[in-house]
A and B are shown apart, each in its own frame.
Chain A
């Protein structure tokens, strides 16, 4: 089900005052692929996202997206190329409604001189509605984002990420703080995404990872450790020792 190569992380190293959060880490992702990245605390999962979206600058290595080197581009330029990320803690704008949040993300022209208007431009209305529908917030659209339930906030942020039209979506612990029912709804949502987008999911909730039924990359201390199906990875003794061993 996967197509040509979309993303190549090529030997990147991120150094925080001598502590290597990422150490010559590499991975690739194909178009339309969903990949789960797991690893114990401090394995460098979030830093990997940071490096892809330009939040940290790697000391060495490159990030190639559709063959283009992203290192050195500004955050906005990377979003324009088609990558968007959902943060661990819901990054929504609490003072405006869910619909306005999505509309902000859905803007095609994000320059400041296009901002002197009220409401949502008519041509963007449909896509905003579609996103709200997709993340199951259509009937909560007029609620202030800050007043949504925790799970709804997570979905709203996923919706915002989708609304940017990103081809590659990074989801950093999308189920943090969710109950089992919400978790499986989220898994369903992410599985659906696989039709149109490439997704990297970071999580360490194994039951959620299983529901995603996607290939898994395991990280440890900033390095690549293993890659394979959920079952294969779970059975791997090395993974058990560094990852499951830690959490046990």
Chain B
């Protein structure tokens, strides 16, 4: 047995480390922004997405689409005659980092507005920063609603623009028994809460509900339960890699999408192609945009994106929302005649139609986008064939009246 005490530290060690620290902090503290936020010929905006971590793969595409829009606008003379300068920051798939970087963009970089966020967690973490600084965030992803901050423009679908139209379609198709599978986080749980209320209201059957931890890949228990429950259709709010494991294990258990239909809310073109279309072919998804949409505006957007980021690049709904957010901001700035966030967000609330790859859209007074929902069926080429749509654009409802009767949006 060798019993040795380590020597206790002399004070000197503390001093040296402290000196090293001071040197480091002095260096990084000195990073002052060189250009003023709104100079004579440029305006700074922030792009805040996860460039690392689990969400990076999805969020980088939104960052790309946002940058594409900025580039196009700059090529056509900028906004109010000024060039847009984008400051990109990494949210690192971590809510606290999003909040920290949002503060950095607004207070240190003094950006006029910020485009970014993907997960609800990141948006929730950034919200107080935007409210405190009275800046404006443009959020591009469908989400669970239950929020309407005056300092956020929500262009992604509210539950009544994605989940409920999907339920409407399934009901029309004659599906009566529903099994809800989701990753264990806010969107699936809230979406399913709303779905359950509507199932009950419409006299449809809830066959079961199961959650796996985010990133979880073991579905053995869930699949046993699905088999016991024997539903007509599965409503799937799983996220990311869990989807591959789920579809794979469903197939191995003899229940591929062709036998037991699956309606997914987090599988877009990119995810489907990365997973391998063989697994998910024949499954359904509901979005406000599909790459296969035939309009000319969409074709030219897809062309421009693929020219910039690769011919095979898949285009998804959140990317288009990220892209249109920049154009909406531009339109609002021009309408307000100012870059001031308070005036811009006033102006943004009724722009009277902005042309986008998904057609003309408009922001409702509650700060969310009025948009049409489409149901697509995934083909073997990794593209969705649109099988149904909501017909007219749907007004956004942040609070579902059935699930949250006492809530309303006051902006």
Contacts and interface: CB of A to CB of B under 8 A. Distances in A.
Interface stretch (B3-11, B63-71, B156-164, B349-357): B3-11
A87 B2 CA distance: 12
A178 interface: no
Interface stretch (A25-33, A88-96, A190-198): A88-96
A95 B5 contact: yes
A95 B1 contact: no
Nearest to B6: A95
Name the interface size band of chain A: under 10
B1 A94 contact: no
Contacts of A92: 3
A91 B5 contact: no
A146 interface: yes
Contacts of B4: 94-95, 146
A87 B3 CA distance: 12
A54 B143 CA distance: 63
A146 B3 CA distance: 8
Interface string A204-238: 00000000000000000000000000000000000
Contacts of A91: 1, 3
B5 A146 contact: yes
Among A91, A92, A95, chain B packs the most CB atoms within 10 A around the CB of: A95
B392 to A, nearest CB: 73
Interface string B1-36: 111111110000000000000000000000000000
Interface string A169-200: 00000000000000000000000000000000
Contact of B1 (A89, A96, A146): A89
Among B4, B7, B8, chain A packs the most CB atoms within 10 A around the CB of: B4
B5 A87 contact: no
Interface in A129-187: 146
A91 B1 CA distance: 7
B1 A87 contact: yes
A79 B1 CA distance: 20
20 contacts: A87-B1, A89-B1, A89-B2, A91-B1, A91-B3, A92-B3, A93-B3, A93-B5, A94-B2, A94-B3, A94-B4, A94-B5, A95-B4, A95-B5, A95-B6, A95-B7, A95-B8, A96-B5, A146-B4, A146-B5
Interface of B: 1-8
Interface of A: 87, 89, 91-96, 146
Given A94-B4, A95-B4, A146-B5, 16 more contacts: A87-B1, A89-B1, A89-B2, A91-B1, A91-B3, A92-B3, A93-B3, A93-B5, A94-B2, A94-B5, A95-B5, A95-B6, A95-B7, A95-B8, A96-B5, A146-B4
Top 4 closest pairs, chain A to chain B, by CB: A95-B5, A94-B4, A89-B1, A94-B3
